[in-house]
Amino acid sequence: AYHELNLKLTSGIFGSTFFMLTGFHGFHVFVGMLMLLFITLRLQKGHFTAERHFGFEGAAWYWHFVDVVWLGLYILVYWL
């Protein structure tokens, strides 16, 4: 769809803002997936207990943050 609309990084303020916002979000999704991978490896090694699970909880909060940002980006880019 972006190719048909001729949307490029150099196609004005909307194009550069769109690619910047989605690029930063994509980077944060990638970081979140790495966090989930490391948490999974730590879970398999038994590093977490009912009392000691801050890394797991931190990764879950981060992933929820990325979800909320995605909702905001979707509304900003596609509805407004």
Say if 12 falls within a structural domain. no
Q: What is the pLDDT of residue 1?
A: 54
Say if 20 falls within a structural domain. no
pLDDT tens, 23-34? 898 999 999 999
Question: Which residue do the tokens 């943050």 mark?
Answer: 65
**Helix (H/G/I), strand (E/B), else coil: 21:** helix
Question: Which residue do the tokens 């990764």 mark?
Answer: 59
Section 29-51 average pLDDT: 94
Separation of CA 67 from chain center: 7
Q: Which domain holds residue 56?
A: 26-79
Say if 8 falls within a structural domain. no
Section 58-67 average pLDDT: 93
Residue type, 49: T
Query: Into how many domains does the chain fold?
Result: 1
Say if 15 falls within a structural domain. no
**In the structure, what pLDDT confidence band is assigned to residue 2 with cuts at 50, 70 and 90?**
low
Q: What is the pLDDT of residue 16?
A: 84
Say if 52 falls within a structural domain. yes
Q: 0.75 exceeded by the pTM?
A: yes
- DSSP state, residue 7: -
Say if 50 falls within a structural domain. yes
